[in-house]
Amino acid sequence: MSETSSPPLTLTIITGLSGAGKSTALNVFEDAGFLCIDNLPVFLLLPLLDGMARRADGPHRLALVMDARDAELAPALAGVLKEVRIRAALVQIIFLEANDTVLLRRYSQLRRAHPLAQVGLVQDGISSEKKRLAGFRQVADRVIDTSSLSPTELRHKLLQHDASPVAAMRINVFSFGHKHGLPSEADLLFDVRFLPNPYYVAELKEKTGLDAPVAAHALDNASGSQFLVHLFALLDFLLPEFEQAGKAYLTIAVGCTGGKHRSVAVAEELHRHLAGGKWVVKLFHRDIEK
């Protein structure tokens, strides 16, 4: 690929019956960093893909909801999909459905009109929608029945599929200093002020936890070694549980007094441990320059 060429374009089309969970599915892709558009008219699809292909700086992962609200979708489907597969390196069509009883109950709970039954019965709208989308269901790569799925279970089903282009849960690891304030965004917070403090060692005071002698002073001891063993074991258990529960991202904060020595060293070790696995991990040191 040349310097001026664009990364390959991936496209996920989410379609299916109204009330089956399309908005929930689109949120999963949005959390994974996709450019997401709801209710895109079919006549805009090819111009959109052409415009994205010309952009060298992205975005190049696109997720769209296209469904029976667009009356022109079904007649244009075959020709449009042929052109789409020429333009995109990966095309995935996900069709969501549920049984009529569940759809009727969901509409009753939401107190919203069915898009194809603005005047009339919801059941009539469901029947019309099934007929209009029959062709889309036949060409779908995945058909998911959400009748018995909660939003969290649907998210998990989308994430765990082998062909899914959705990234795994994203993890932010950052160090901070307690004297500069607690981080409001932390999901998990670990206080490491019990570790030996390099601040009180003259030759280490002006260094940071990024320096090997500082990290060694804080961690190369019984407390530091045991803490890392227990911390890694805890997170190895917790992270899959959080992902299973539907977490799109998780923020882990590590704090010491000033945010310069011990917390930085521990956050670095934590990042090294997590970055070697399935997780998308980013590392930040909030107060290291203060």
pLDDT one-digit tens code per residue, 125-165: 899 899 999 988 998 888 999 999 888 788 877 876 544 55
Confidence of residue 266 (pLDDT cuts 50, 70, 90): very high
- Report the number of distinct structural domains present in the chain: 2
Does residue 142 sit in the same domain as residue 181? no
Q: How far apart are CA 207 and CA 261, in angstroms?
A: 8
Given strand 280-285, what is the order of strands in its sheet? 188-191, 249-256, 170-177, 280-285
- Cβ(80)–Cβ(40) under 8 Å? no
Q: How far apart are CA 22 and CA 104, in angstroms?
A: 16
Question: Last residue of a domain, which of 160, 189, 213?
Answer: 160
- Mapped onto helix, strand or coil, the DSSP state of residue 176 is strand
Question: Last residue of a domain, which of 134, 160, 186?
Answer: 160
Does residue 234 sit in the same domain as residue 136? no
pLDDT above 70 coverage of the chain, percent: 92
pLDDT at 2: 41
Residue 55 belongs to some domain of the structure: yes
pLDDT at 1: 38
Does residue 144 sit in the same domain as residue 200? no
Lowest mean pLDDT among 16-30, 108-122, 187-201: 108-122
Does residue 174 sit in the same domain as residue 264? yes
Residue 41 belongs to some domain of the structure: yes
Does residue 121 sit in the same domain as residue 177? no
| Buried b / exposed e along 109-147 (16+ C-beta atoms within 10 A) | eeeeebebbeeeebeebbebbbebbeebeeebeeebebe
- Mapped onto helix, strand or coil, the DSSP state of residue 28 is helix
Question: Last residue of a domain, which of 160, 187, 221?
Answer: 160
Q: Which residue has the tokens 């190895």?
A: 236
Q: What is the mean pLDDT of the chain?
A: 88
Confidence of residue 95 (pLDDT cuts 50, 70, 90): very high
- Cβ(88)–Cβ(64) under 8 Å? no
Tens digits of residue pLDDT in 58-89:
668 899 999 988 889 888 888 888 898 888 88
Q: Which of the pair, 49 or 117, is modelled with greater confidence?
A: 49
Residue 290 belongs to some domain of the structure: no
E strands along 178-245, which residues? Answer: 188-191
Host H or E run for residue 72:
none
Q: How far apart are CA 164 and CA 38, in angstroms?
A: 19
In the numeric block, which tokens belong to residue 59? 């975005």
Picking from 16, 71, 63, 62, the residue whose alpha carbon sits closest to that of residue 41 is 71
* The overall pTM is greater than 0.75: no
pLDDT above 90 coverage of the chain, percent: 51
Residue 211 has pLDDT above 60, yes or no: yes
Does residue 184 sit in the same domain as residue 275? yes
Residue 82 belongs to some domain of the structure: yes
Does residue 177 sit in the same domain as residue 266? yes
Does residue 208 sit in the same domain as residue 281? yes
Q: How far apart are CA 130 and CA 128, in angstroms?
A: 6
Does residue 35 sit in the same domain as residue 143? yes
- Mapped onto helix, strand or coil, the DSSP state of residue 24 is helix
Residue 2 belongs to some domain of the structure: no
Tens digits of residue pLDDT in 218-247:
999 999 999 999 999 999 999 988 877 767
Residue 270 belongs to some domain of the structure: yes
Residue 7 has pLDDT above 70, yes or no: no
- Cβ(226)–Cβ(267) under 8 Å? no
Residue 61 belongs to some domain of the structure: yes
In the numeric block, which tokens belong to residue 73? 């979708």
pLDDT at 203: 96
Residue 166 has pLDDT above 80, yes or no: no
pLDDT at 164: 56
Does residue 73 sit in the same domain as residue 143? yes
Host H or E run for residue 216:
helix 212-219
- Cβ(185)–Cβ(267) under 8 Å? no
Does residue 225 sit in the same domain as residue 121? no
Q: Write the burial class of residue 81 (CB in 10 Å: 0-12 exposed, 13-18 middle, 19+ buried).
A: middle
Q: What is the CATH number of the domain that holds 135?
A: 3.40.50.300
Residue 1 belongs to some domain of the structure: no
Q: Domain span at residue 248?
A: 170-285
Does residue 98 sit in the same domain as residue 234? no
